A and B are shown apart, each in its own frame.
Chain A
Amino acid sequence: MNTVWWAREDSWRKVAIWITALMTVVLIFLTFDTVADISIGSKRVPHYSVINKQIGYTFDAGRNKQVPVIGGEAPLFGKRLSEVEAEALVTHGKKVVQGRNCMNCHTLLGNGAYYAPDLTKAWLDPAWGTVGARERLMLAFLLDPAGNARGYGSGRRMPDLGLSEEEARAVIAFLKWMSSIDTNGFPYNFTPLGESR
C-alpha cells in the first residue's frame, strides 16, 4: 500500500515484460542483418566454389587482424568443380563431419570439444608440410588415422572412423571451404602453411 513505486511487484512485472520485449525485438533485427551477412556467397562466407581457389590467411593492417584472402585458381584434387558440384561435395563433407561426431573431440570455428586440435584453419595448418603434399597427406590421414597418427608425442590418436575415400575427399573439401570464412581474426597469431613467421 505504501510501498514506493520502484519496489512494487506490479512495477517490476511491467519492467520485465517491456525489457524482454525490447531485447527480443533488437535481437530479431540484428538476426536479419547477420543472417544476410553470413549467407553463402556473402563477403564473410564465400560460396562453396571457393574450393577451386587458393586460400590464404594474412594480416590486414586496416582491420588489425588476419583475414582470409582468396587467390588464383587452385582446384581441389586438381579438378575444377561447378558451383553445384562444389556445394554437393562440401555438403557431403559437412554431413560426414556431423555423422562421425567430429565435434566431440575437435572444435569447428572454436566450438566443440578440446581433445583434438581446432579445425577452423585445418586446411591452412603447417602440419601438412608443403602446399604440394597437403591434399595427399590429408587424404592418407583421414583414411588411416591410426597408421598416420599425428599426436605430437601426446599419445592421442584419432580413432579409425571408417571413412571411405569419397567421404574423406568430401571432408577435405569442407575443411578447405571452412578456412575461407572470415572469423574476425580467430585463431589469432596463426602461421598458415607455406609461410614462415
Chain B
Amino acid sequence: MNADSGAVVLNGGQRLALKYFSVAITLFAAQVIFGLLAASQYLVPDLLYNLLDFNVNRMVHINALVVWMLYGFIGSAYWLLEDESGHEIVGLPLANFVFWLLTAAVGIVVVVYLLVQSGPGDDFTLWFINEGREYIEAPRWADIGITFCMLVFFYNVAATFMRGRWSGIGGVLVLDLVALAGLYLAGMFYTTNISMDQFWWWWVIHLWVEATWEVLVGCIMAWALMQVLGVRRRIVQTWLYIEVAMMFGSGILGLGHHYFWIGTPEYWFSIGGFFSALEPVPLVAMVVHSVYDAGAHKMRNANHPAMAWIIAHTFGNFFGAGVWGFMHTLPQINLYTHGTQWSASHGHFAFFGAYATIIIAMIYIALQRQRGNIWMGADMPDGGWKWKWALGLLNLGVVGMTIALMISGFEQAFIERAVEGSTWAGYFTAQNHPWFQQGMIWRFIFGVVTACGLTLLVWDLLTIGRRETRRALQPVAGVVVVLLLLLAAGSLPAYAGDTAAGRSKAEACAGCHGDDGISVSDPLVPVLAGQSADYLAVQLMAFRQGVRQNEVMNAMAEELSDSDIQDLAAFFAALPAGAEAASAPPPMVARGKAKYAACAGCHGLKAEGDGMRPRLAGQSAAYTLKQMRDYASGARRDPVMEGIAAAFHDDDFNHLAEYIASLTRQQ
C-alpha cells in the first residue's frame, strides 16, 4: 500500500456498502426519535393523540430498528465480499439498482405508515398499507419487494464466492443467507387462525433474530477480528464453526420459548425451556473468543473505535441477548413476565448489544479505509473524545433504559399478573403504580442520553480521521495467495509485511530471540535482526510444514498464518543489525576467511545475504557450525547447501563458523 497517496480506491462493494451504512444510520436516528415519542406518551398520554398515536410511533420505532440492522448487515457483507472472495462483485450494477429500489420502497412504506397509518379490515389494507403484525408490519407489496432485493443480494454474495475463492466465513455467510431469505417467506401469508399466525410469525422473528442474525454477526465479527487485531483465520473460523454449532444447536429449538402461551402444545415447555437455557452458551463463547484475542494481541490495533465497539458487541450480546433473555425464558417465570415491560427491557438491550454495536464497529472499519486507510488508534488529533463519549453515552443510555424497563417489568409481573390476576383493572393498577411510572420516567431520561450519544456518533462518523495523516498500515488481503503462488514459481516478490503488526506478533519470539531480534542467552538461537525478510518467511513456512525440523520452532510456526509470517519477517528484517563483532583467535579466522570464498558467491563478501540467501554475519559460531553440520548430515535440507557441506571437512566448518562470526554487521 502506498503510504504517500492520500486517496484510497474503494472497490465497488465497498462503495455500495457506504450507501447502505448511510441509510442504516439515518434509520437508526428515526428509530431513536420515534422511540422517544412513544416513550413520552407513557408520561403524557395525550401527546399527539389521534394525530401520531402510540401504535404508529411504536411501529416506526421497531420497523426502523429491523430495517437499519438489515441495512447494516447487507452493507457489512458487501464491504467484506471482495476482500474475502478475492473476486470483484458479480452483478454489481444490479446490486446498486437494488439499493435504490429497496431504499425507495422503505421510504414509501414509512410515508404510508405516518400519513395513512391504518386502513379498513380488508385485503387492500394488508397489501398496501399495513399488515398489522408486529415487526413485519410492512404491507405485502413491500414483502415481495424485500424478498426480491434479498434474492439479488444473495445472488451477489453467492456468485462472487463461487467465482472467487470460498472460505469458512464465506461458506457460513452464504448458507446463513439462504436461511435468512427463506424464513422471511414464513411471514408472508394471511391466516385468521391467530395461533397458526403467531406460530409462523415466530419462525420469522425468532429464527431471524435469535439464530440467523446471530450467525450473520458471527461472520462479520470473525472478519472484523482479523481486520482489526490481525487474528489468524484458522482461529476465527474454528470459533465461527463452534458458534454456529452452539447457536443453531440451541437457537433452533429455543424457538419453543415463544410457544408456551399461543395455543401450542405443552411439550414446548420442556423443549423451549431447555434449549433457551442453552442459548447464552455460544454468547459466552463469543466473549471468551474476542476478549482472549484482544488480550493475546495486547489490544494493539490501529482502529480503537472499532475495537471498542467489538468488545461492546460481545458483552452486549452476552448480557442483552443471553442473560436478559434467559432471565425470563423458563416457562415458570415467563407465565408472569410474558407481554410485560420485561420483554421490552430484554429487547432494548439485546438488539443494541448484539447488533447495533457490531454494525457500528463495521462502519468504523469502513470509514478508516474510506478516509485513506488512516491511523485510528491512540493519539488522535482531538484525543478521540467524540467516539469515546458516543460509545459511553450510547451504552449508558441503552443500559439505563434496560434497567428502568426491567424495574417496571418486575412491578408489572408481580402486581398485574401475580397479585391482580391479569385483568384490565389489574393491568392499569400496575401501570398507575409509582414504581412503574418511575421506571417510565427513567426510561425516557436514558432515552435522551441515547439520543445524545447517537448525535455524537453521527458527528464522529462524519469527521473522524479527516485531519489524520498517519497511515494504519493494515495487512493487505490477498497478498498471501499471490505470495504463495510466486513462491511455488520459485521467486518471491519483495513484499514488505506489516512491521507494526509484526512487532506485536513477535512478542512470542522475544523470549528466545531477544526483544531486538538479537539472541544473547543461547548461542544456538540465531540472530534475526536485519535478516533478509524473504529468507525468514521461507524458513518460517518450512518450520510450519515440518520441512525444517526444530521442536520449538515447529510448534511456534504451526500457529502462524501466512500474513503472520510476512509481518514477522518484515519486522525482524527492519530491525537494526547491531551485534558486536565476536572475537576469535586470528589464525582460525584467517583459515576460515580463505575457505569462505566458496560461500561469498551467494552469501556476499561480507556475508550480508541476499534475498533467499540468508545473512550470516553476526550469527554465533555455534549456530553457524550446527547448520553446516546439519546440512552435512541431511538433518537440514537444501540441495545446494547439502552439496557444498559434503565437500568440506568438519574442521573447515569450525573455521568458517568462527570467521563468519567475526564479521561485523556494517556493510
Contacts and interface: CB of A to CB of B under 8 A. Distances in A.
Contact of A161 (B118, B258, B259, B344): B118
A87 B50 CA distance: 32
B45 interface: yes
A100 B79 CA distance: 40
Interface stretch (A20-28, A73-81, A131-139): A20-28
Nearest to A91: B192
A109 B265 contact: no
Contacts of A164: 120
Contacts of B252: 20, 23-24, 26-27
A151 B262 CA distance: 26
A99 B45 contact: no
A126 B421 CA distance: 11
Interface string B234-257: 100110011011001100110100
A40 B120 CA distance: 25
Given A27-B255, A93-B121, A114 B56 contact: no
Interface in B119-140: 119-123, 125-126, 129-134, 137
A54 to B, nearest CB: 19
B253 A189 contact: no
A171 B613 CA distance: 86
Contacts of A156: 45, 431
A19 to B, nearest CB: 4
Contacts of A167: 120-121
B192 A113 contact: no
Nearest to B43: A155
Contacts of A160: 50
Contacts of A190: 421-423
Contacts of A120: 261
Contact of B425 (A27, A126, A187): A126
A109 B198 contact: yes
Given A15-B245, A100-B132, A186-B261, A154 B425 contact: no
Interface string A92-113: 1111111111111101111111
Contacts of A178: 194
Contacts of A16: 172, 241-242, 244-245, 248
How many interface residues does chain B have, given as a range?
35 or more
A35 interface: yes
A8 B238 contact: yes
A191 B253 contact: no
B338 A117 contact: no
B192 A94 contact: yes
A1 B546 CA distance: 9
A13 to B, nearest CB: 5
A27 B418 CA distance: 33
Contact of B248 (A12, A20, A95): A20
B340 interface: yes
Given A16-B244, A20-B245, A34 B265 contact: yes
Nearest to B252: A23
A12 B245 contact: yes
A97 to B, nearest CB: 7
A2 B132 contact: no
A94 B339 CA distance: 20
A26 B55 contact: no
Interface residues of A, number: 89
A16 B424 CA distance: 47
Nearest to B436: A154
A59 B86 CA distance: 65
A101 B118 contact: yes
B54 interface: yes
A56 B192 CA distance: 22
A186 to B, nearest CB: 4
Contacts of A105: 53-55, 58
A181 interface: yes
A177 to B, nearest CB: 9
**For the complex of A and B, 5 pairs with smallest distance between CB atoms:** A98-B132, A96-B121, A152-B428, A187-B422, A12-B241
Interface of A: 1-3, 7-9, 12-13, 15-16, 19-20, 23-24, 26-27, 30, 33-35, 37-40, 44-45, 48, 87, 90-105, 107-115, 117-118, 120-122, 125-127, 146, 150-157, 159-161, 164, 167, 170, 178, 181-191, 197
30 contacts: A9-B234, A16-B172, A34-B268, A44-B195, A44-B264, A44-B265, A87-B192, A97-B132, A98-B121, A98-B130, A99-B132, A100-B132, A101-B55, A101-B56, A102-B55, A102-B132, A105-B54, A109-B263, A113-B54, A114-B343, A114-B344, A115-B38, A115-B55, A118-B339, A118-B427, A152-B427, A181-B195, A183-B261, A186-B260, A187-B417
Interface of B: 38, 41-42, 45-46, 49-50, 53-56, 58-59, 117-123, 125-126, 129-134, 137, 168, 172, 190, 192-196, 198-199, 201, 234, 237-238, 241-242, 244-245, 248-249, 252-253, 255, 258-269, 271, 335-336, 338-341, 343-344, 412, 417-418, 421-425, 427-429, 431-432, 546, 555, 558
